[in-house]
Chain A
Amino acid sequence: MSLRSQWFARVLADTERPLVAYLLRLGLPLDAAGDVAQEAYLGLWQQEPGSVDAYVVPWLYCFARHRAIDRARARRVTVSDDSVVAALASEDRPDRTIEHQQRNSALQQAIAQLPARQQELVGLKFIDGLSYRDMAQATGLSESNVGYLLHQSMRTLRGFLSQQGELP
Chain B
Amino acid sequence: MNPTPPIHDENDPRLTALVLGELTDAERDALLAHDDGDAARFANLEAELRDLSATAARVQQALRDDASDGPDLGDEVRAQILQAIAAPRRQILWGRVQRRLGGHTDQRPRQLHAGQSVFKRRTRVVAAALSAILLVSLGLAGLYVVNVRFVVQGVQDEREQEALVPLSRTHRRGDLLLRADRLSLDVGIATGGRFDRAYKVIMDDHPHLELTGKQTLTVWSNIAAGRFARDARLYRLYAAPKQNTFLAAATQPISTFSADVDTASYATVRDSLHNFALPPPGAVRLEELVNYFHFGEAWFDGEPLRTATELTTSPWLPHRRILSVRVQARSLAQQNRPASNLVFLVDVSGSMRAPNRLPLVQAALRVLVDQLQPQDRVAIVTYAGEAGVRLQPTAGDRKQEILNVINHLDAGGSTHGSAGIAQAYALARANLLPQGNNRVILATDGDLNVGVTDPEDLAQLVEREAKSGVFLTALGFGITVVDRDDERLEKLADRGNGVYAHIDSLAEARRVLGTQVQGALFTVAKDLKIQVEFNPHIVASYRLLGYDNRRLANADFANDAKDAGDVGAGHTVTALYEIEPVGAELLPAAATATTTLGPGELARVRLRYKEPQGQTSQLVERSVAAKATPFATASADLRFAYGVAAFAMLLQRHLPAAGMSWEQVRPIIAAAVGTDAERHALLSLFDDARQIAGAPEVH
Query: Contact between B51 and A158 (Cβ–Cβ < 8 Å)?
Result: yes
Is B614 part of the contact surface with A, judged by Cβ < 8 Å?
A: no
Give the distance to chain A from B98, nearest Cβ to Cβ, in Å. 4
Bound form: Cα–Cα A6–B22 in Å: 32
Query: Contact between A18 and B100 (Cβ–Cβ < 8 Å)?
Result: yes
A residues in contact with B521, CB < 8 Å: none
A52 — nearest CB in chain B belongs to which residue? B96
Bound form: Cα–Cα A53–B91 in Å: 13
Is B99 part of the contact surface with A, judged by Cβ < 8 Å?
A: yes
Is A77 part of the contact surface with B, judged by Cβ < 8 Å?
A: no
Known contacts: A98-B63, A131-B22, A144-B13. The answer to whether A16 contacts B78 by CB under 8 A is: yes
Query: Contact between B85 and A8 (Cβ–Cβ < 8 Å)?
Result: yes
Query: Contact between B17 and A4 (Cβ–Cβ < 8 Å)?
Result: no
Known contacts: A15-B100, A49-B90, A55-B109. The answer to whether A21 contacts B66 by CB under 8 A is: yes
Query: Contact between B112 and A158 (Cβ–Cβ < 8 Å)?
Result: no
B140 — nearest CB in chain A belongs to which residue? A126
Query: Contact between A56 and B98 (Cβ–Cβ < 8 Å)?
Result: yes
Bound form: Cα–Cα A157–B59 in Å: 8
Query: Contact between A3 and B62 (Cβ–Cβ < 8 Å)?
Result: no
Partner of A132, one of B22, B55, B84, B95: B22
Is B65 part of the contact surface with A, judged by Cβ < 8 Å?
A: yes
Query: Contact between B82 and A111 (Cβ–Cβ < 8 Å)?
Result: no
Known contacts: A127-B105, A158-B52. The answer to whether A107 contacts B67 by CB under 8 A is: no
Kindly supply a per-residue 1/0 record for chain A positions 114-157, scoring 1 wherever the CB is within 8 Å of any chain B CB and 0 otherwise. 00000000110111111110100000000010011011001101
Q: Which of B16, B58, B109, B139 has its CB near the most chain A CB atoms (within 10 A)?
A: B16
> Which candidate, A36-44, A67-75, A85-93, is the interface stretch facing chain B?
A36-44
Kindly supply a per-residue 1/0 record for chain A positions 1-34, scoring 1 wherever the CB is within 8 Å of any chain B CB and 0 otherwise. 0111111111110111110110011000010001
Is A163 part of the contact surface with B, judged by Cβ < 8 Å?
A: no
Query: Contact between A9 and B82 (Cβ–Cβ < 8 Å)?
Result: yes
Known contacts: A125-B20, A131-B22. The answer to whether A161 contacts B58 by CB under 8 A is: yes
Bound form: Cα–Cα A98–B139 in Å: 21
B residues in contact with A123, CB < 8 Å: 63, 66
Is B73 part of the contact surface with A, judged by Cβ < 8 Å?
A: yes
B91 — nearest CB in chain A belongs to which residue? A3
Give the distance to chain A from B392, nearest Cβ to Cβ, in Å. 40
Is A101 part of the contact surface with B, judged by Cβ < 8 Å?
A: no
Give the distance to chain A from B123, nearest Cβ to Cβ, in Å. 18
Size band of the interface chain A makes with B: 35 or more
Is B507 part of the contact surface with A, judged by Cβ < 8 Å?
A: no
Known contacts: A5-B86, A17-B70, A154-B52. The answer to whether A128 contacts B107 by CB under 8 A is: yes
A55 — nearest CB in chain B belongs to which residue? B109
Query: Contact between A107 and B97 (Cβ–Cβ < 8 Å)?
Result: no
Give the distance to chain B from A52, nearest Cβ to Cβ, in Å. 9
A residues in contact with B85, CB < 8 Å: 5, 8, 42, 45
A residues in contact with B64, CB < 8 Å: 126-127
Bound form: Cα–Cα A5–B84 in Å: 11
Known contacts: A128-B105, A129-B106, A131-B107. The answer to whether A11 contacts B63 by CB under 8 A is: no
Partner of A42, one of B56, B81, B104: B81
Query: Contact between A53 and B59 (Cβ–Cβ < 8 Å)?
Result: no
Is B60 part of the contact surface with A, judged by Cβ < 8 Å?
A: yes
Query: Contact between A107 and B58 (Cβ–Cβ < 8 Å)?
Result: yes
B residues in contact with A130, CB < 8 Å: 107
Q: Which residues between 136 and 188 of chain B lie within 8 Å of chain A, taking CB atoms? A: 139-140, 143, 145, 169
Is B646 part of the contact surface with A, judged by Cβ < 8 Å?
A: no
Known contacts: A42-B84, A50-B94, A53-B92. The answer to whether A108 contacts B78 by CB under 8 A is: no
A106 — nearest CB in chain B belongs to which residue? B62
Bound form: Cα–Cα A112–B82 in Å: 36
Is A84 part of the contact surface with B, judged by Cβ < 8 Å?
A: no
Q: Which of B14, B74, B80 has its CB near the most chain A CB atoms (within 10 A)?
A: B74
Partner of B55, one of A11, A37, A105, A161: A161
Query: Contact between B55 and A158 (Cβ–Cβ < 8 Å)?
Result: yes
Bound form: Cα–Cα A41–B74 in Å: 14
Query: Contact between B62 and A162 (Cβ–Cβ < 8 Å)?
Result: no
Bound form: Cα–Cα A28–B86 in Å: 29
Please report the number of residue pairs spanning A and B whose Cβ atoms sit closer than 8 angstroms: 190
Query: Contact between B65 and A100 (Cβ–Cβ < 8 Å)?
Result: yes
Query: Contact between B139 and A129 (Cβ–Cβ < 8 Å)?
Result: yes
A residues in contact with B95, CB < 8 Å: 3-4, 7, 49-50, 53
Is B54 part of the contact surface with A, judged by Cβ < 8 Å?
A: yes
Is B245 part of the contact surface with A, judged by Cβ < 8 Å?
A: no
Is A94 part of the contact surface with B, judged by Cβ < 8 Å?
A: no
Is B126 part of the contact surface with A, judged by Cβ < 8 Å?
A: no
B residues in contact with A105, CB < 8 Å: 62
Bound form: Cα–Cα A49–B16 in Å: 35
Bound form: Cα–Cα A158–B16 in Å: 11
Partner of B59, one of A21, A107, A162, A167: A107
Query: Contact between A150 and B66 (Cβ–Cβ < 8 Å)?
Result: no
Kindly supply a per-residue 1/0 record for chain A positions 42-63, scoring 1 wherever the CB is within 8 Å of any chain B CB and 0 otherwise. 1001000110011111000000
Q: Which residues between 101 and 121 of chain B lie within 8 Å of chain A, taking CB atoms? A: 104-107, 109, 112, 114
B residues in contact with A134, CB < 8 Å: 107
Is A168 part of the contact surface with B, judged by Cβ < 8 Å?
A: yes
Query: Contact between A154 and B56 (Cβ–Cβ < 8 Å)?
Result: yes
Known contacts: A2-B89, A126-B59, A129-B106. The answer to whether A38 contacts B16 by CB under 8 A is: no
A35 — nearest CB in chain B belongs to which residue? B77
Bound form: Cα–Cα A28–B98 in Å: 23
Give the distance to chain A from B500, nearest Cβ to Cβ, in Å. 31
Give the distance to chain A from B90, nearest Cβ to Cβ, in Å. 7
Query: Contact between A20 and B71 (Cβ–Cβ < 8 Å)?
Result: yes
B residues in contact with A161, CB < 8 Å: 54-55, 58
Query: Contact between B89 and A4 (Cβ–Cβ < 8 Å)?
Result: yes
Query: Contact between B52 and A53 (Cβ–Cβ < 8 Å)?
Result: no
Partner of A41, one of B51, B52, B56, B81: B81
Is B387 part of the contact surface with A, judged by Cβ < 8 Å?
A: no
Query: Contact between A17 and B63 (Cβ–Cβ < 8 Å)?
Result: no
Is B10 part of the contact surface with A, judged by Cβ < 8 Å?
A: yes
Partner of A56, one of B20, B55, B60, B96: B96
Q: Which of B12, B90, B106 has its CB near the most chain A CB atoms (within 10 A)?
A: B106
Is B11 part of the contact surface with A, judged by Cβ < 8 Å?
A: yes
Query: Contact between B92 and A30 (Cβ–Cβ < 8 Å)?
Result: no
A residues in contact with B569, CB < 8 Å: none
Query: Contact between B73 and A167 (Cβ–Cβ < 8 Å)?
Result: no
Bound form: Cα–Cα A55–B59 in Å: 25
A residues in contact with B378, CB < 8 Å: none
Bound form: Cα–Cα A146–B86 in Å: 38
Bound form: Cα–Cα A130–B21 in Å: 11
Is B72 part of the contact surface with A, judged by Cβ < 8 Å?
A: yes
B interface with A by C-beta (< 8 Å):
10-17, 19-20, 22, 50-52, 54-56, 58-60, 62-67, 70-74, 77-78, 80-82, 84-86, 88-100, 104-107, 109, 112, 114, 139-140, 143, 145, 169, 190
A-B contact pairs, 23 of them (CB 8 A): A2-B88, A5-B85, A10-B112, A18-B67, A18-B100, A21-B70, A24-B70, A30-B71, A54-B109, A56-B97, A100-B66, A111-B63, A122-B59, A126-B64, A127-B67, A129-B104, A144-B13, A147-B16, A147-B22, A150-B16, A151-B12, A157-B58, A167-B55
A interface with B by C-beta (< 8 Å):
2-12, 14-18, 20-21, 24-25, 30, 34, 37-38, 41-42, 45, 49-50, 53-57, 98, 100, 105, 107-108, 111, 122-123, 125-132, 134, 144, 147-148, 150-151, 154-155, 157-158, 161-162, 166-168
9 more contacts with CB within 8 A, not counting A5-B86, A151-B12, are A4-B91, A18-B70, A34-B74, A37-B73, A57-B107, A108-B63, A122-B59, A127-B67, A132-B17
